[in-house]
């Protein structure tokens, strides 16, 4: 009888914890695993420069982003020498004034 009550109490407690903590844990892992989307809102955010490295690495397989996005990379991105050279090539190809 006592074991049965402990098992039921444990199950109820586990469900309670799952309901309370579950959404926070799910949201954390979803945000941690998700890369920022390559959309205008992502580029225009305070941390839009984070999209630069991925855009530079994907070029020329993917077309260069718009000039204003490349300007964000030029102004704010912490780029290596190789990335800087590649960005300059992207800016020339896209005919962006920088």
Q: State the Cα–Cα distance between residues 2 and 8, nearest whole angstrom.
A: 10
pTM, full prediction: 0.53
pLDDT, tens digit, 9 for 90 and up, residues 47-82? 777 788 888 888 888 888 888 888 888 887 678 888
**Band (33; pLDDT cuts 50, 70, 90):** low
* CA gyration radius, the chain: 24
Give the helix/strand (H/E) hosting 46: none
Sequence spans of domains, the chain: 1-34, 40-93
């Amino acid at each position: 009888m006592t074991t049965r009550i402990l098992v039921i109490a444990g199950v109820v407690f586990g469900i309670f914890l799952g309901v309370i903590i579950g959404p926070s844990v799910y949201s954390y892992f979803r945000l941690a695993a998700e890369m920022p989307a390559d959309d205008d809102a992502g580029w225009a955010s305070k941390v839009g420069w984070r999209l630069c490295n991925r855009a530079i690495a994907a070029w020329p397989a993917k077309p260069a982003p718009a000039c204003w996005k490349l300007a964000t990379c030029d102004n704010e991105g912490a780029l290596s020498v190789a990335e800087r050279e590649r960005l300059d090539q992207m800016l020339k190809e896209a005919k962006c004034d920088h």
